[in-house]
A and B are shown apart, each in its own frame.
Chain A
Amino acid sequence: MNWIQIGNLEDIPRQGSRVVQTNDGEIALFRSVDDKVFALNNKCPHKGGPLSQGIVHGTRVTCPLHNWVIDLETGNAVAPDVGCAHRHEVRVAHGVVFLEVKAGACKAAA
């Protein structure tokens, strides 16, 4: 486990997102309306749109380019679309956000 401290929960707007730059490209951190935090590659499985720029609703984000809806918990596109924006582990402790960076994996749809 390799947890990296990223910043404070407060730095991410509620129902919004911030980007973390890594060597393997951008990772988008999302904060839902009830303060859950998620991390996905900042790349829509459709045509690579920046998911961090989308509208966050519930535990989903809508891609700004062609409105695919991506589930933040799994990284999977919501049916009928199919695809995965790989997810990363995040943790929030005492208002500080930690991210585990590795090649992201797809969790099977629940």
Chain B
Amino acid sequence: MKTDKKTRLVVIGNGMAGIRTIEELLKMSPDEFEITVFGAEPQPNYNRILLSPVLSGEMKFQDTVLNDWSWYKDHNITLHAGKLVTKIDRKNCVVEAEGGLAIPYDRLLIATGSNPIMLPIPGINLPGVLAYRSIDDVEKMLVAAKNSKRAVVIGGGLLGLEAANGLSLQGMEVSVVHLCDWPMERQLDQVGGGLLKNELEKRGLKFYLSRQTEAILGDDKVTGLRFKGGEEIPADLVIMAAGIRPNIALAKAANIHCERGIVVNDTMQTYDPKIYSVGECVQHRGQCYGLVAPLFEQAKVAANHLAEYGRMRYEGSAVSTKLKVTGIDLFSAGDFNPGPDDEELLLQDSARGVYKKLVLRDNKLRGAVMYGDTLDGPWYFQMMRDETDVSEMREHILFGQMHIGDSGRGGASNVANMPDSAEICGCNGVSKGTIVKTILDKKLFTLEEVRAHTKASSSCGSCTGLCEAILANTLGDYSAKPSKKALCACTEHAHHDVQEAITKLKLKTIPELMKALQWKTPDGCHVCRPALNYYLMAAWPGVYQDDSRSRFINERVHANIQKDGTYSVIPRIWGGVTSPAELRAIAEIAERHEVRTVHITGGQRIGLYGISKENLPKMWGELVEAGFVSGHAYGKALRTVKTCVGSEWCRFGTQDSTAMGIKIEKMTWGSWTPHKFKIAVSGCPRNCAEATIKDFGVVCVDSGYEIHVGGNGGIKVRVTDFLCKVATEAEVLEYCGAFMQLYRESAHYMDRTAPWIERVGLAYVKQHVVEDAAGRAALYARFFESQKYSQDDPWKERAEGKDAHEYKALATV
């Protein structure tokens, strides 16, 4: 079909899914398509989920417009706004619309969304009965709110409650009629629903639960409702919010296979291969969706296939919901009604108005309902999608991520109630107000966009949960990331896919890998290249040639860049033990090079600061002469092994922790890891070496050694998990090597041990390192294999002239 003529793409539906698909398509092939869009609504594309804030008066329609008229013009898109498509003629590949328009297509995209269900009861067509779907509906509701008093909303689901809340804020007396015993039964269990009802009643809503509407009363306009059983209530305005139905009339009339929705396959194609469909009108693997996050994933896939990249598949989405009623915090995801094999974890604090329920099956999270404190919603949701084994955090999981180590957030647990000035991202100094404003001004939808525009959550990532919560709160929509998160914008593949492909397809260089996995950029970016370099190095020790161009500067030049562009030099001090001779040597070198600052580091070493790049090799040469090697203080690598003086000096010491620390450091130094790796050995449980906030910590006791893993200091302090106890020094070394190797092989690049363990679960680590002796021995052996190639001192090599070009200017003019 490819000729030099452009492909004619016709889109039916100027809504969120249809236009998102075009946006994705323009990103991939900006010039290949001649695009025509039909929209039954007279407005340009707007953000339907913001209708609730418009109704409640918190926003204006203008604020919800996603693509204004000029966008269509700028992209040469012909828009027929306010024109209903009346027929799809598949035989001649033509779309017919009101006003006699007939537009031929090569490809057709159906994105007609859904229609509100209008109950087939007497009076449904009376003036004063409205649906809640479009801006037109909202404008009519606003007029009605000015001129009348009593509103009744039929349907106590998400939409119904948002409509009710909005009308009540507009000054109406509002009642909600609902079939079930509590509101939002699809998202909430009975307890959560009860709490919500109480809160809404406090705000003035009235509930008629377990009621079925039999008729809408009135002669020439609405005057009231009658329930089954005869009870009647008065009303001037009735809002139908009893559900939605995929809008499939057009497709059905054209004999495209439909069930509840238009049936599509994993490439978003209907049974007619020229016709694609996305959005609420679609049924995929038996599932219809009514939230934007899945629709955006569909849009991405459809665009990919329209552009003939033919790479992605849509595999369905997990969804979570939030209610957009200002001040009410509610979160729900997954399957929260426990079955016979499930366990239920509950937390209820009536005084604080907090309710949480988690449903577990086989030690994995299946569902969550939260009310009053939803900060951890995204965290639970992430663990659901990752299928994390949570058996080890059972006791704390209900209290949230903070109790698993995420301290330092000052107990902030409810973003809705945080002041605008609250600092969210400590790394980049970004406040809540800035994030909210940027989301609204720039019309952002995803965490990635928030990162790009505000820099929040783009450094250490500890505020990711907060940023997602703010996004959810601001948009009302918790934008689910695809369950598989791409490594970076250069690829669709996730970390895990890349790791697997490297071994499966025996990929041994970065260009090979990018080719095999169809990278979208010629040579990647600063996010993926270092990751690929690491994965290849970890997979093929001794074979893979480290690519210095894919290293961050610190690792490329083996020193830490400082804010003024100078570097620091930190030699290794084995186990923190030094001698007068070593100190003298360091002192002399520091003086000779006029080092500006000499500082004792937190890892029991000596840091020399303010060294210019040209000077590094010379200084290293002198240090090497004096017997030092690189401390790798600049790398995602083994950093330090911190020790206390142990039984050698301390009256409490149970073992020689110092000697053990030195042995461990001699074994592990030089190894590259997904992120920095710190070790400590304490001589007794008083733990002076702070072993329980290290990636690998040993605490000596009378009868042997306790091994702790997965701790870290830093922005998010996390205390280690207890792994096991062993009896001998040899075992400590073996467990240490095996643990490091497991981490090196299975963690994502840039994950420290803490998030890695939280993702895979401590049970997984125990299984491989503790329970499976043969597996442990194999991991240990692989660790040594890789160490064979990594214990060459990089400083010595460079002092001898390796990579000399890195350290001097090309020319002076």
Contacts and interface: CB of A to CB of B under 8 A. Distances in A.
Interface of A: 4, 6-7, 11-16, 18-22, 26, 29, 33-34, 47-50, 53-58, 60, 62, 64-67, 69, 80, 99, 101
B289 interface: no
Contact of A50 (B452, B530, B548, B565): B565
A21 B455 CA distance: 32
A54 B549 CA distance: 9
Contacts of A56: 549
Contact of A55 (B521, B529, B565, B809): B529
Contact of B553 (A11, A48, A57, A64): A64
B810 A22 contact: no
Nearest to A21: B812
Nearest to A19: B809
Contacts of A57: 521, 523-526, 529
B141 interface: no
Contacts of A34: 522
Contacts of B563: 47, 65
A18 B809 contact: yes
Nearest to A56: B549
Interface string B2-23: 0000000000000000000000
Contact of A20 (B522, B551, B556, B812): B812
A21 B565 contact: no
Given A11-B805, A13-B549, A67 B812 contact: no
Contact of B526 (A6, A14, A33, A62): A62
Contact of A80 (B453, B549, B557): B453
Interface string B522-560: 111110011000000000000000001111110011000
Contacts of B553: 53-54, 64
Nearest to A79: B452
Given A14-B549, A65-B561, A20 B811 contact: yes
Interface in B431-458: 442, 452-453, 455, 458
**Which 8 residue pairs across A and B have the least CB separation, nearest first?**
A62-B526, A18-B810, A15-B549, A53-B553, A55-B526, A21-B812, A64-B553, A33-B523
5 contacts: A7-B810, A7-B811, A14-B549, A67-B458, A69-B525
Given A6-B811, A34-B522, A56-B549, 6 more contacts: A7-B810, A33-B522, A49-B565, A54-B526, A60-B525, A65-B561
Contacts of A60: 525
Contacts of A33: 522-523
A110 B561 CA distance: 33
B552 A55 contact: yes
Interface in B465-515: none
A29 B809 CA distance: 10
A29 B553 CA distance: 16
A78 to B, nearest CB: 10
B121 interface: no
A29 B810 contact: yes
Given A18-B805, A21-B813, A58 B549 contact: no
Given A13-B805, A15-B549, A64-B561, A55 B530 contact: yes
Nearest to B557: A53
Contacts of A11: 805, 810
Interface of B: 442, 452-453, 455, 458, 521-526, 529-530, 548-553, 556-557, 561, 563, 565, 805, 809-813
B549 A99 contact: no
Nearest to A48: B565
Contacts of B522: 33-34, 58
Contacts of B561: 50, 53, 64-65
Given A53-B553, A64-B561, A58 B521 contact: yes
A64 B550 CA distance: 12
Nearest to B547: A15
A53 B548 CA distance: 12
Contacts of A55: 525-526, 529-530, 549-552
A69 B455 CA distance: 13
A79 to B, nearest CB: 8
Contacts of B458: 67
B813 A6 contact: yes
Contacts of B529: 55, 57
B525 A21 contact: no
Contacts of B521: 57-58
A20 B452 CA distance: 32
Contacts of A65: 561, 563
A22 B810 CA distance: 11
Given A13-B805, A50-B565, A67 B811 contact: no
Nearest to B528: A57
Contacts of B809: 18-21, 26
A1 to B, nearest CB: 15
Contacts of A22: 812-813
Nearest to A18: B810
B255 to A, nearest CB: 46
Nearest to B525: A57
A21 B561 CA distance: 19
Contacts of A4: 813
Q: Which of B522, B524, B565, B811 has the most CB of A within 10 A?
A: B811
A58 B813 contact: no
A13 B563 CA distance: 25
A12 B529 CA distance: 19
A25 B786 CA distance: 43
A99 B813 contact: yes
Nearest to B524: A57
Nearest to A101: B813
Nearest to A47: B563
B810 A12 contact: yes
Nearest to A61: B526
A67 B813 contact: no
Nearest to A12: B810
A20 B549 contact: no
B526 A20 contact: no
B813 A20 contact: yes
Nearest to A11: B810
Given A21-B812, A29-B810, A15 B805 contact: no
Nearest to B810: A18
Contacts of B812: 20-22
Nearest to A32: B523
Nearest to B530: A55
A25 B810 CA distance: 14
A62 to B, nearest CB: 4
A98 to B, nearest CB: 11
Nearest to A27: B813
A55 B530 CA distance: 9
A21 B550 CA distance: 25
B197 to A, nearest CB: 43
A64 B552 contact: yes
A64 to B, nearest CB: 4
Contacts of B530: 55
Contacts of B805: 11, 13, 18
Contacts of B526: 54-55, 57, 62, 67, 69
A88 to B, nearest CB: 11
Nearest to A49: B565
A35 B551 CA distance: 19
A80 B810 contact: no
A26 B549 CA distance: 21
B813 A15 contact: no
